[in-house]
Chains A and B, each alone.
Chain A
Amino acid sequence: MDRPEQHGSSTNPRTRRGRLRLLAASGVAAMSLTAGLATPLNPAPHEAEAADGGKKTLTVAVAQSVDSLSPFLAQTLVSTSIHRLMYDFLTNYDAKDNSTVPAMATEWESSDDKLTWTYTIRSDAKWSDGEKVTAEDAAWTFNTMMEDEAAATANGSFTSNFKKVTAPGPDKLVVELKKPQATMTALDVPIVPKHVWEKVDDFSKFNNDQDFPVVGNGPFVLTEYKRDSYVKLTANKDYWRGAPKFDELVFRYYKDQDAAVAALRKGEVSFAAGSPSLTPAQANSLAKADNIKVNEGPGRRFFALAVNPGARTKDGEEFGDGHPALQDAKVREALFTAVDRETIVDRVFQGNAVEGEGYIPPRFGDYFWKPSAEQKRAYDPAKAAELLDDAGYEKNAEGKRVGKDGKPLDFRILCHATDPNDKAVGKYLQEWWGELGIGLKVDCLDNVSDPWAAGEYDLAFDGWSVNPDPDFVLGIHTCAALPNKPKESSATDNFICDKEFDKLYGQQLAEYDPAKRADLVKQMQSRLYDTGYMNVLAYPNAVEAYRTDQIKSITTMPQAAGNIYGQDGYWSWWSAVPADDDAGSEGSGGLSTGAMVGIGVAAVLAIGAGVLFGLRRRATAEDRE
């Protein structure tokens, strides 16, 4: 640069040089930031495998944080899914049809009085530290949950009806019950090794995340955990059902779903979007990408409208302010008859859902129930209007239906502000019910649990994830689940207390014959449908995606058409077969690592030299001044 001119105060060269320097400065800033390019740090996952002696790694993008790695405390889906992989449960669910299959227990039988269950524990299973898995481990796990309140935090509901658990022999586990309980083949409790866990002194504070590898007996062994960065598991080659096909399973954190989708595109992860599902926009764009398969399967959730039946405590003390008109079965019937579920599936869920029928999603084929033709509240706005006319809710001069108290019918519906589906459906309901002459106010709140527990709502958007054993989602509609005191949080979903339903609930819980129990469960759904306090609008599908150049095949659940993430069982990750190494394993950038390193090093050197040179020239210039 023509430095000598700089001494004068003539503005022209100064400006010119300034511009150049400004340019150079921004250039340097940008370059130093991109200097990361120089480092050979970003090999695509397959390249990492190659360097690792052909180790096959399956990487799953997750968003939810691990709350605790102790099976006694963990409540979030990601943690309980990981526990499924680390520890065997007594039983497992068949990927085909959700029926119970052996796991840690090979056989089970109940006594004639239905109060004693005897499990035969398999003799060919070992803990990852070499110790044998025995019935004593299971007995100790259950007893700990029964004796220590902290250990009951996560799964206490499974043992609350247990009287006594013993292990008369290494392969015999005996559970004595207070009352018959049909869910004894659906005890979703990870069994932990007694010889490791008996050293724990405070279960409320022990998070099982200090000593690795964590001793377990599942298809994978937890070897590394970095909070909100990754969870690493290695395959248990000695697993009795057979070793997983991948050598390593990594759950990597992507807190933002769009970022997870980007990582999938790039191939940094093999699977994305277990929970929540991909949005329709994400799914559509991924469907067009190479080497990516979008998997849409029936979900395990239902999306429903709940009507406040009048909140009350166990003792019958009433509270809350549910609309009295909704106590009238005709009004509820009219409301649900004026709901077009097909439109909701098409427009709101954009086809990624199945129209709602009974309470339990069709994925659980044994328990799925549909209303009969005469029972069904099919979309029929004319009939809805007729029902209201017949029941005496006449329209007033402004065209609004008037209640028995002479006031126009105006309902409120509680909506989750975080759920766009709630808001969208709310708009449709306003339109449909508006045509009936009924007003609707959609109350979207960040946190609906307070008004909900206080019974201060007329209707609400409701939804639960259903397990292969339906006991829990049925139990939340029994009188026993009602709160002890007004507004106190309790197990009840929607303050429903119906003697008929409760009777059936008691019967199914004591019915050990699967077919008969399924029949009772269907009767319960029929009753729930008829009482009209719960109306299922849709079963949202699970929409996920994985890379076919990393995963050749993977088991969905149900096998025919199902989902991958958050299965009841470890089938997906256990069964996943790695794709052949060569297919698509060239780095997505098209540049080899070596070339990148070369370019990077050259760039850094050039920048360094430039900066040094500039500084030296400047230094001499200043020295002269």
Chain B
Amino acid sequence: MSTDSTAALVKSPGAASDGPAEAGPSGRGPRSRSAAAYLRYVAGKLAGAAVSLFAVLVTSFFLFRMIPGDPVKHMTQGRPVSTEQLAAMRREFGLDLPLWQQFTDYCAKALTGDFGMSYQFRAPVIDKITEALPATLLLTGTAFVIYTVLGIWLGARSAWRGGKFGDRFGTAFALTLYSVPSFWLGLLLIVTLSVGVGPIPGVFPTGGMESGGQSGFAHVLDVAHHMVLPVLTLVAVEYARTLLVMRSSLLDEMGSDYLTTARAKGLRDDAVRRRHAVPNALLPTVTLLFVNLGNTVAGAILVETVFSWPGLGGLFYQALSVPDLPLVQGLFFLFAAAVILMNTLADVIYPLLDPRVGR
């Protein structure tokens, strides 16, 4: 889709006809000027991202200290512990130090990439995150690819036949799924497709990521099998957004003259849509795409919970309930960093897609 779109930008009449894709043979004045402008633009965006990241780093320390609750008391709930044990744990976690000292310790360590030890798991925060990250990326990443492709495709078709039955039905259907709570849909899928109802056989596992005890290709298939329902849930509730954005931006393009020109050339309707209209309507979708991509890291707490997926969403929830401060801070930073990074990336890529940006 993306190679298609950059190539197609060449044909877009609205923009200056030279996309950076063909800026290769330089040497002419305006081009090097535009390259410099682009670099300046990128540097500005990167600086902005760095400032945001630092702000997140600081915020995450104070934000989560406002959560009421005593981690030590929560962790030892219902267990025979003496006051001395409680004091020893507070000392171990550094919770007995004054706040400013906790803060400077945290900053000094965080800048070297060390987010400390998780209170409840007694393991470095980084280890807990790297343990759970692949599971989350696998689940939300797969869902992301499917709902993005599906959303763009269906959105384009919907707009192309705007107002017709297919459009109205498709959009209404997508919106209905969008407004369904994901955990409820997930449970429904478990009850029907996992357990089986009436003639429907229950063919999917009720939860988890793997059966265990398998290796090699069998393991891959096993994980894929476990992934079907959570991915289906995520796609069902997520694809509407991409669809709607794609649909509305394509509708904006519908009356454009260049489409009439394309049709006048005798191009097939399909080709007019795919090569001319869609690429021009894709920009807002690309924004959304990067926002979604940034969010994939944060996982999907509800879906991960319903399907017992061992990912970051579940870890974050667990960390919050203690609150396991180092783990919460580390995860929050990661989530925020992913969004910032993806937004920056989107900013950096925009001028390549649309030369009007960044000038």
Q: Which A residues are within 8 Å of any B CB, using their own CB?
A: 6-7, 9, 14-15, 18-19, 21-22, 25, 29, 33-37, 39, 41-42, 48, 65, 67-68, 70, 73, 75, 149-150, 152-154, 156-158, 160, 204-205, 207, 224, 226-230, 232, 250, 252-256, 258-260, 262-263, 265-266, 268, 445-447, 449-450, 453, 464-465, 467, 471-472, 475, 481, 483-484, 489-491, 588-591, 596, 621-622, 625
Contact = CB atoms under 8 A, between A and B. Distances in A.
Contact of A453 (B73, B89, B170, B269): B73
A497 to B, nearest CB: 14
A36 B228 contact: yes
Nearest to A6: B268
Most buried by B among A229, A265, A467, A622: A229
Nearest to B236: A33
A33 B225 contact: no
A464 B77 CA distance: 9
A65 B83 contact: no
B206 interface: yes
Interface string B150-194: 100110010011001110001000000000000100010011011
A150 B150 CA distance: 53
A48 B212 CA distance: 11
Given A39-B225, A158-B80, A229-B210, 17 more contacts: A15-B161, A18-B161, A39-B222, A42-B225, A48-B211, A67-B122, A75-B76, A150-B92, A157-B82, A207-B122, A226-B210, A253-B310, A259-B307, A262-B191, A262-B195, A625-B267, A625-B271
Contacts of A204: 92, 122
B166 A262 contact: no
12 contacts: A33-B231, A34-B228, A149-B88, A157-B85, A252-B208, A255-B304, A256-B305, A259-B306, A262-B194, A447-B68, A449-B68, A465-B78
B241 to A, nearest CB: 16
Nearest to A269: B206
Given A590-B201, A625-B271, A156 B85 contact: yes
Contacts of B75: 67, 75
B166 A36 contact: no
* Range class of the B interface residue count: 35 or more
Interface string B222-247: 10110110011001000000000000
Nearest to B120: A67
Interface in B111-139: 117, 120-123, 131-132
A87 B227 CA distance: 36
Contacts of B183: 256
Most buried by B among A34, A65, A228: A228
A156 B84 contact: yes
A367 to B, nearest CB: 16
B119 to A, nearest CB: 9
Given A33-B228, A33-B232, A228 B310 contact: yes
Contacts of A588: 195-196, 202
A207 B193 CA distance: 38
A589 B202 contact: yes
A39 B81 CA distance: 50
Interface string B46-68: 00000000000000000000011
Contacts of B201: 589-591, 596
Given A9-B263, A22-B170, A481-B83, A268 B122 contact: no
Given A15-B164, A41-B221, A42-B205, A153 B308 contact: no
B209 interface: yes
Contacts of B228: 33-36
Contacts of B81: 156-157, 491
A491 B308 contact: no
Contacts of A68: 121-122
A252 B268 CA distance: 55
Interface of B: 67-70, 72-76, 78-86, 88-89, 92, 117, 120-123, 131-132, 146, 150, 153-154, 157, 160-161, 164-166, 170, 183, 187, 190-191, 193-196, 201-213, 218, 221-222, 224-225, 227-228, 231-232, 235, 263, 267-271, 304-308, 310, 314-315, 318
A15 B79 CA distance: 68
Contacts of B191: 262
A152 B69 contact: no
B308 A14 contact: no
Nearest to B147: A29
Contacts of A149: 88, 92
B314 A228 contact: yes
Given A205-B122, A447-B69, A450-B68, A268 B83 contact: no
Most buried by A among B123, B222, B306, B308: B308
Q: Which 9 A-B pairs have the closest CB atoms?
A: A589-B201, A228-B310, A447-B69, A472-B80, A263-B206, A36-B228, A41-B225, A36-B225, A447-B68
B206 A259 contact: yes
Nearest to A258: B187
Contacts of A21: 157
A7 B69 CA distance: 69
B83 A490 contact: yes
Contacts of B318: 65
Contacts of B270: 6
Nearest to B222: A41
Contacts of A252: 208
Contacts of B154: 22, 25
Given A18-B166, A29-B150, A153 B212 contact: no
Nearest to A7: B268
Contacts of B132: 227-228
A262 B190 contact: yes
A369 to B, nearest CB: 21
A622 B196 CA distance: 44
B83 A483 contact: yes
A261 B355 CA distance: 56
B68 A255 contact: no
A156 B79 CA distance: 11
Contacts of B227: 36
Contacts of A33: 146, 228, 231-232, 235
B308 to A, nearest CB: 5
Contacts of A7: 268
A472 B76 CA distance: 13
Contacts of B120: 67
A19 B208 contact: no
A490 B86 contact: yes
B308 A228 contact: yes
Given A15-B166, A204-B92, A464-B78, A255 B212 contact: no
Contacts of B314: 228, 255
A443 to B, nearest CB: 12
B150 A449 contact: no
Contact of B205 (A65, A75, A260, A268): A268
A464 B81 CA distance: 13
B212 A449 contact: no
Contacts of B69: 446-447, 449-450
A468 to B, nearest CB: 12
A25 to B, nearest CB: 7
A153 to B, nearest CB: 7
A158 B80 CA distance: 8
Nearest to A34: B228
A440 B194 CA distance: 47
Contact of A160 (B84, B187, B210): B84
Contacts of A449: 68-70, 73-74
B123 A153 contact: no
Most buried by A among B146, B206, B212, B227: B206
A22 B222 CA distance: 31
B117 A205 contact: yes
A259 B85 contact: no
Nearest to B89: A153
Contact of A36 (B70, B204, B235): B204
B187 to A, nearest CB: 5
A70 B268 CA distance: 68
Given A6-B268, A156-B85, A445-B68, A256 B210 contact: no
